[in-house]
Amino acid sequence: MAHLLIVRHGQSVWNLENRFTGETDVDLSPLGEQEALRAGKLLKPHPVDIAYTSVLKRAIHTLAIIKVQTGWRDLPVIRSAALNERNYGLLQGLNKAEVAQKYGAEQVALWRRSYDVAPPQGESLKDTYERVVPYYTAQIEPQLRAGKSVLIVAHGNSLRALMMHLEQISPEKIALVDLATGVPRLYEFDASLRIVEASYLPHRKGVV
């Protein structure tokens, strides 16, 4: 039975500062490092054969911490820009609260949570879906069909796009789906790559 584990990177410096990050290459905050450490503790009982990540340092750093914590030092890792966070265009680097004051909370919510409305000069979730899912289908799905267990460490929107594909989530309902930083989600597939179970890894006793 193949397994897929997805993890959103730990809190970044700009997450902490409540700024739109997008494809800006910022690193983890101290809390983000702790979240990655905790993710490693949760992942340790679920060994994987190969890992994929974006080319952004917050995802790469999260995976590096996970590898040390799990002892998977020799785990093969493939990086791809296809898994990058969505590009927030002109909003990148701006404080979310200040943007809401300027444009209104409703407009900002539309940019952030809608499926096909893009921020100025940026990507919509639909745009993100159209690069993430073909990459998953061409590069990652064959690994799962071969019976391998796969780990993906990426970003809130690139992983939400993948969740839409895997779980057949509608464009309307994806607006209600959020993926917490550093919390692994496990998919178990049957031989036909149908999902048998999908769940977040529990915070086991003693794991903090």
Determine whether the annotation assigns residue 204 to a binding site: no
Q: Which domain holds residue 125?
A: 3-200
pLDDT of amino acid 1: 80
Determine whether the annotation assigns residue 86 to a binding site: yes
Q: What is the CATH number of the domain that holds 33?
A: 3.40.50.1240
Question: Is residue 46 annotated as part of the catalytic site, yes or no?
Answer: no
- The shares of helix, strand and coil residues in the chain, as percent rounded to the nearest 5, are 45, 15, 40
pLDDT of amino acid 205: 40
Question: Is residue 85 annotated as part of the catalytic site, yes or no?
Answer: yes
Label residue 129 by pLDDT band (50, 70, 90): very high
Which residue among 23, 85, 123, 155 is the active-site one? 85
206 in a structural domain? no
User: Is the pLDDT at 206 greater than 80, yes or no?
Assistant: no
pLDDT, the chain, mean: 95
Number of domains in the chain: 1
Determine whether the annotation assigns residue 22 to a binding site: yes
207 in a structural domain? no
Task: Return the structure tokens found at 204.
Answer: 């086991």
User: Is the pLDDT at 38 greater than 50, yes or no?
Assistant: yes
Burial class (CB in 10 A: 0-12, 13-18, 19+), 160: buried
Which residue among 3, 9, 61, 155 is the active-site one? 9
CB 42 within 8 A of CB 203: yes
Give 140's DSSP letter.
Answer: I
177 in a structural domain? yes
Determine whether the annotation assigns residue 147 to a binding site: no
205 in a structural domain? no
pLDDT of amino acid 203: 52
